[in-house]
Amino acid sequence: RTRKHCMMLANYAYSDFQLLILSMARQGFFGDIVHAEGGYIANKLRNNFSKDMYWDMWWLKQYGNRKGNIYPIHGFESICQIMDINRGDKLDYLVSVESKDFQMGEMAKKLASTDDFYKPFADLDFRGNMNTSVIKTSKGRTIIAQHDATTKRPSTLKQYIYGTERSAMEYPKPARISNERGRWVSPEEYKSLVEKYAPNMLKKK
């Protein structure tokens, strides 16, 4: 309709570690990429019920009216770049399961008992606290994407990359890269790998 190009950019795909491992993957450092895991794990329970955090309570409405992984982009977009999704490979099929809701419905009812503002949310069928999606690509690779914004887990985007030669893991910090024997390299070796494989845009920072 507008005859203008549109593309989706996700800030997390362009962080230092993501750009580093993308460069490494494209230069064959990991060998063939076999499997990767990403996700958005962060306790946003209080934020989602806050009257001041999000416009028109839009996040809470999403949780109360949709199922599945409602925020897949963090932790997933960089994996798609590394696996050349839509640049040679493609997502083939997906299986998605989630837990029941153990927290949000209970909190909505509790808040509604003392504040009429929350009554529209009290009887919603909230999505499960943890969603896990397993994806297979046309070239036989696998991906696990998770979303959990309610349980008391430390925040993580996971970012595990497993190849036939080496692997990488960003969380828990510090980020790590393995050698060909499947052991994490030392901080000194990690620094050398950054110097060798970091793209020019990082070296200019």
Determine the pLDDT at residue 49. Answer: 97
Structure confidence by residue, pLDDT tens digits, 126-166? 999 999 999 999 999 999 999 999 999 888 889 999 999 99
Give me the CATH number covering residue 150: 3.30.360.10
Is residue 121 domain-resident? no
pLDDT of 6 > 80? The answer is no
pLDDT of 205 > 80? The answer is no
Is residue 62 domain-resident? no
Minimum mean pLDDT range among 76-80, 96-100, 106-110: 76-80
User: Could you tell me which of 14, 11, 16 has the C-alpha nearest to residue 197?
Assistant: 16
Structure confidence by residue, pLDDT tens digits, 23-62? 999 999 999 999 999 999 999 999 999 999 999 999 999 9
pLDDT of 5 > 90? The answer is no
Determine the pLDDT at residue 203. Answer: 83
Is residue 171 domain-resident? yes
pLDDT of 8 > 70? The answer is no
- CB within 8 Å of 17: residues ≥ 6 apart: 159, 170, 175
CA torsion angle 184 187 188 194 (round to 10): 80
- What mean pLDDT value characterizes the chain? 94
DSSP character string of 134-187: EEEETTS-EEEEEEESSSSPPPEEEEEEEESS-EEE-SSSSPEEB-TTS-BPPH
Is residue 161 domain-resident? yes
Determine the pLDDT at residue 12. Answer: 84
Is residue 52 domain-resident? no
pLDDT of 1 > 90? The answer is no
Higher-pLDDT residue of 82 and 14 is: 82
Is residue 168 domain-resident? yes
Is residue 4 domain-resident? no
Provide the domain count of the chain.
1
Q: Which domain holds residue 36?
A: 11-45+72-100+130-203
Phi and psi, residue 170, nearest 5°: -90, -40
Is residue 51 domain-resident? no
Structure confidence by residue, pLDDT tens digits, 54-81? 999 999 999 999 999 998 888 888 999 9
pLDDT of 170 > 80? The answer is yes
